[in-house]
Copies of this chain bind each other. A is one copy, B any other.
Amino acid sequence: MIPITDLARSIGINQDHLSLYGNDKAKVSLAALDAARARRPKNGKLILVSAITPTPAGEGKTVTSIGLAQGIKKNGRSAALALRQPSMGPVFGRKGGAAGGGLSTVQPAREINLHFTGDFHAITSAHNLLAAVIDNQLHFKQTRLAPEGVLWKRVLDCNDRALRSIRTGVDSATERAGGFDITAASEIMAVLCLSESLADLRARIDRLVVGFTAEGEPVRASEFRVTGAMCALLRDALKPNLVQTAEGVPAFVHGGPFANIAHGCNSALATRMALAHADYVVTECGFAFDLGGEKFIDIKCRQTGLAPDAIVLVATIRALKMHGGVALADLEKPDVAALTRGLENLAAHLDAARSFGRPVTVAINRFPADTPEEFAVVREFCAANGTGCALSDVFARGGEGGVELANAVVESIAAAEKTLSPLEFVYADSMPVREKIGAIARRIYGADGVDFLPEAEHRLALFETAGFGGLPVCMAKTQNSISDDEKKLGRPRGFRITVRDFELAAGAGFIVALTGRMMRMPALPRVPSAEKIDVSPDGEITGISGA
């Protein structure tokens, strides 16, 4: 691995702008952004990696993103990554690691998967400081908020089922119902990922709504007088982290908001930092295009002015067969007929992605059991649809296995560059919330319409009356179907979306529309990955994937 100071220097970041965390990790001060812009006024091209509706194992978006960036570098171009950092909850729970895999990883994977540079801990601390102060002001009767009016919960970066629903202050005057979410689900995480500066962070924390009075008035975090302390806790966490891939591509790995109840993208500052220092930047959004892609555009791009120059849709032969009706246990068997049926799911995401006027390339993330006949079916489909397609073999072959994809994407950008139109969002800020959701449901999901349960109606009225109707909408929806019914595979048709409730993220700047049952605190499985993680007497950590 290249010493991180050398890696930084190679893209023009000098040591004054680095805070080292060992030899292989660093935080980059925001001043480096201004320095880069002065030196290099033109930003790099932004490549958004999304996917089709995945199997439970995922489509390999992260590994494809890393391999794509390595492929771009292999072709002699300047590349960088902007990625989310893993949450320790899933690392010790089901996932066992989230830093890529095979020959396409970000390093040091073990540290990135554990404490990294402490960003999640800082968010946990800031979030819980506010929670403690709210309860303290309830105790001393210093707030106009009543115990039952508090919406601000607590967070931990740990999968802990028993903390989902708790009672706090048992046998005290302020005993009440409460709970813990996982840190990735904290609004502070979403706030950090959308903030452009320490001043922006402060303004967003100040306007966080932590609850409502009985009269329906929003109570903001600013009333609790600890925004300054929270910002002090978050000062370093706001700075993007710089690491590298196994093949030496600079990677800004920063922020990790939930992709269902939040927007699910790495920080805006990491994306900007990467764009300021490389010609091609690969970034990733959460889940499939219907969720992550739409939110990337309608929330992150809307708030930041960023826009993708190209979109990659990761598909696997396995997932396409699943959408064609094959059971999970049989996905290794060749089945061209099922694969062909399953292309409907790809077609749906392709339609949604192409509607934003960006060139879209389908990346087939290769698995060992895939056959040439199956690849040919997907390639023919893409050719017929006038979209690029490339085989990606980056897990097994690293950047070498990403060269075909890299070429396809880079060429698509060059071809589209001259005629690229401004990004059009799915809805305008000024549209009523219900219409915003209707637009997403029809254009992105292919739904016939949207129904709102009484609880949702009630909550929306509260939010709109309080003046939050102009915010964009963050859809909380299953990742297992384009519809809100996780059993509907392929390309569902003739369905409606049901919104059961709303949540307000006034600091992050969106309203969350909840469909189905979203868990903000995951649970550990019967045999958690933690049982396999270990460290040798000389300090070597094992059992974390990507390492």
Number of copies: 2
Contact assessment for B531 and A229 in the assembled complex, using a CB-CB cutoff below 8 Å: yes
Residues in chain B near residue A235, CB distance under 8 A: 535, 539, 541
Judge if A416 is at the interface, Cβ distance under 8 Å: no
Residues in chain B near residue A231, CB distance under 8 A: 534-535
Judge if A360 is at the interface, Cβ distance under 8 Å: no
Contact assessment for B169 and A167 in the assembled complex, using a CB-CB cutoff below 8 Å: no
Contact assessment for B226 and A140 in the assembled complex, using a CB-CB cutoff below 8 Å: no
Residues in chain B near residue A154, CB distance under 8 A: 163
What distance in Å separates the Cβ of A198 from its nearest Cβ neighbour in chain B? 6
Residues in chain B near residue A539, CB distance under 8 A: 198, 235
Which residue of B has the minimal Cβ distance to A15?
A: B23
Judge if A165 is at the interface, Cβ distance under 8 Å: yes
Residues in chain B near residue A172, CB distance under 8 A: 161-162, 165
Contact assessment for A533 and B168 in the assembled complex, using a CB-CB cutoff below 8 Å: no
Residues in chain B near residue A228, CB distance under 8 A: 531, 533-535, 543
Judge if A118 is at the interface, Cβ distance under 8 Å: yes
Interface residues of A in 218-235 (CB under 8 A from B): 225-226, 228-229, 231-233, 235
Residues in chain B near residue A431, CB distance under 8 A: none
Which residue of B has the minimal Cβ distance to A120?
A: B121
Residues in chain B near residue A543, CB distance under 8 A: 228-229, 232
Residues in chain B near residue A170, CB distance under 8 A: 165-167, 177
**Known interface pairs A121-B115, A531-B226, A537-B197. Does A524 touch B133 (Cβ–Cβ under 8 Å)?**
yes
Residues in chain B near residue A178, CB distance under 8 A: 162, 166
Residues in chain B near residue A162, CB distance under 8 A: 132, 135, 139, 168-169, 172, 174, 178
Residues in chain B near residue A118, CB distance under 8 A: 115, 118, 121
Judge if A129 is at the interface, Cβ distance under 8 Å: yes
Judge if A38 is at the interface, Cβ distance under 8 Å: no
**Known interface pairs A115-B125, A169-B165. Does A136 touch B528 (Cβ–Cβ under 8 Å)?**
yes
- How far apart are the CA atoms of A276 and B463 in the complex, in Å? 62
For the residues of A in contact with B, the DSSP-based class is mixed
- How far apart are the CA atoms of A132 and B160 in the complex, in Å? 5
Contact assessment for B533 and A232 in the assembled complex, using a CB-CB cutoff below 8 Å: yes
Contact assessment for B161 and A135 in the assembled complex, using a CB-CB cutoff below 8 Å: yes
Judge if A523 is at the interface, Cβ distance under 8 Å: yes
Contact assessment for A128 and B160 in the assembled complex, using a CB-CB cutoff below 8 Å: yes
Contact of A528 among B133, B167, B232 (CB under 8 A): B133
Judge if A236 is at the interface, Cβ distance under 8 Å: yes
Q: Per-position contact with B for A525-536: 1 when CB-CB < 8 Å, else 0?
A: 010101101110
Judge if A156 is at the interface, Cβ distance under 8 Å: yes
**Known interface pairs A162-B172, A167-B167, A170-B166. Does A537 touch B198 (Cβ–Cβ under 8 Å)?**
yes
Residues in chain B near residue A530, CB distance under 8 A: 129, 133, 225-226, 229
Residues in chain B near residue A22, CB distance under 8 A: 19-20
Judge if A158 is at the interface, Cβ distance under 8 Å: yes
Residues in chain B near residue A140, CB distance under 8 A: 526
Interface residues of A in 169-187 (CB under 8 A from B): 169-172, 174, 177-178
- How far apart are the CA atoms of A498 and B22 in the complex, in Å? 50
What distance in Å separates the Cβ of A244 from its nearest Cβ neighbour in chain B? 17
Residues in chain B near residue A167, CB distance under 8 A: 166-167, 170
Judge if A109 is at the interface, Cβ distance under 8 Å: no
- How far apart are the CA atoms of A235 and B541 in the complex, in Å? 9
What distance in Å separates the Cβ of A150 from its nearest Cβ neighbour in chain B? 10
Which residue of B has the minimal Cβ distance to A138?
A: B162
- How far apart are the CA atoms of A17 and B421 in the complex, in Å? 54
What distance in Å separates the Cβ of A269 from its nearest Cβ neighbour in chain B? 14
Judge if A114 is at the interface, Cβ distance under 8 Å: yes
Contact assessment for B163 and A168 in the assembled complex, using a CB-CB cutoff below 8 Å: yes
| 19 A-B interface contacts by CB (under 8 A) | A20-B22, A115-B122, A115-B233, A128-B156, A132-B159, A132-B163, A133-B530, A136-B523, A139-B161, A140-B526, A142-B526, A154-B163, A163-B168, A165-B169, A165-B170, A170-B177, A198-B539, A228-B531, A229-B534
